[in-house]
Amino acid sequence: LQESKPTILVSEKLGDAGLQLLRSFGNIECCYDLSKEDLCKKIETCDALIVRSGTKVSREVFEAAKGRLKVVGRAGVGIDNVDLGAATEFGCLVVNAPTANTIAAAEHAIALLTAMARNVAQADASMKAGQWKRNKYIGVSLVGKTVAVMGFGKVGSEVARRAKGLGMHVIAHDPYAPVDRARALAVDLVSFEQAISTADFISLHMPLTPTTLNLFNDDTFAKMKTGVRIINVARGGVIDEDALLRALDSGKVAQAALDVFAQEPPPKESKLLQQENVIVTPHLGASTKEAQEGVAIEIAEAVKGALQGEL
């Protein structure tokens, strides 16, 4: 008797190489932009689900799966959009792709850091609107400035390596920091308070967990240097966005560069989108051709392993 192939639902765009690998052992259904209701309907007939950050895999999804769903694959690192408690309860494995987009995320953080410091986005918009404002867009230099890398994991340490190359003084905070990695990169590991109070630039690289939710709030902004600049390519939820707006208005925070938002996409009327001193990108940290192909293969292999009981 031939064993039937597992059905794998792919709910967000996945690189071709990953799809090809999935097709070698499963029936693939690519359905993008599903509503919550449609996802719940569809999931009943699926053995695996592959998502990026745009699909919320909530308890309702696991309930709707009625025990058939064996694995959720997160094509990326952060698994904060998957209800892990519900997954465990329903006996469903959750796997991610922890390495393939590290460099892409680090490069995007550096792109935002340099673009913010030199007002690239604002100057571009102004010139395209017919203006030529050389005095308005005087920036700040990076060399000799202190950047605090908050979260010294894979992405954070690659950001640190690149910031060193720009001549910046790099400090880092991470409660679980690998000391040997910091030593190898000549990065000073410091306390949370020391990091936020001495940095000219603060770059966020921590996961969203109950501990990091709204970690950057009125209290923490108050402890920062006046004129600090913040980059967030991690998760929107680690910043209390109303507190950030207050800190931008008061001048405590001079500029922010945000790739991620508490709600994605953020509401069109969000004040953050209207601030001249804030630059934004639509969660592009992992979005390079190379990273997406790598992530697709990494997650396809992990899902295959989980379905075939290799995990």
Of 22 and 168, which has the nearer Cβ to ligand MLT?
22
Identify whether 235 is a catalytic site residue: yes
Give yes or no for residue 73 binding ligand MLT (CB under 6 A). Answer: no
Identify whether 169 is a catalytic site residue: no
Phi and psi angles of residue 49, each rounded to the nearest 5 degrees, phi first: -130, 130
Taking CB under 6 A as the binding criterion, the range among 38-46, 84-92, 113-121, 280-288 that sits at the site for ligand MLT is 280-288
Answer for the pair 225, 251: CB distance below 8 angstroms, yes or no: no
Q: Where are the alpha helices (DSSP H) in the chain?
A: 16-23, 36-43, 59-65, 84-89, 102-117, 120-128, 154-165, 179-184, 192-198, 218-222, 241-250, 289-307
Task: Characterize the bridge pairing of strands 71-74 and 93-96.
Answer: parallel
CB burial class (10 A; 0-12, 13-18, 19+) of residue 130? exposed
Of all residues in the shown chain, the one whose CB is closest to ligand MLT is 76
* Least distance in angstroms from the C-beta of 81 to ligand MLT: 9
> In the set 70, 108, 205, 283, which binds ligand MLT (CB under 6 A)?
283
Identify whether 12 is a catalytic site residue: no
- CA–CA distance, 36 with 72 (Å, rounded to integer): 16
Catalytic residue among 74, 173, 181, 283: 283
Of 80 and 242, which has the nearer Cβ to ligand MLT?
80
Give yes or no for residue 53 binding ligand MLT (CB under 6 A). Answer: yes
Give yes or no for residue 292 binding ligand MLT (CB under 6 A). Answer: no
Give yes or no for residue 151 binding ligand MLT (CB under 6 A). Answer: no
Place of tokens 């932009």: 33
Of 52 and 304, which has the nearer Cβ to ligand MLT?
52
> In the set 228, 286, 296, 303, which binds ligand MLT (CB under 6 A)?
286
CA separation (Å) from 110 to 42, 135, 155, 203, 308? 40, 24, 11, 9, 39
Give yes or no for residue 162 binding ligand MLT (CB under 6 A). Answer: no
Q: What is the pattern of x (binds ligand MLT, CB under 6 A) and - over residues 1-40?
A: ----------------------------------------
* Least distance in angstroms from the C-beta of 238 to ligand MLT: 13
Give which of 3, 83, 86 is closest to 309, Cα–Cα: 3
Task: Write the CB contacts of 220 (distance below 8 Å, at least 6 apart in sequence).
Answer: 196
Catalytic residue among 173, 235, 241, 298: 235
> In the set 22, 43, 71, 101, which binds ligand MLT (CB under 6 A)?
101
Place of tokens 């005095």: 135
Answer for the pair 46, 71: CB distance below 8 angstroms, yes or no: no
Give yes or no for residue 153 binding ligand MLT (CB under 6 A). Answer: no
Catalytic residue among 37, 44, 89, 264: 264
Answer for the pair 289, 54: CB distance below 8 angstroms, yes or no: no
Residues that bind ligand MLT (CB under 6 A): 52-53, 76-78, 101, 283, 285-286
Q: Which residues are catalytic?
A: 235, 264, 283
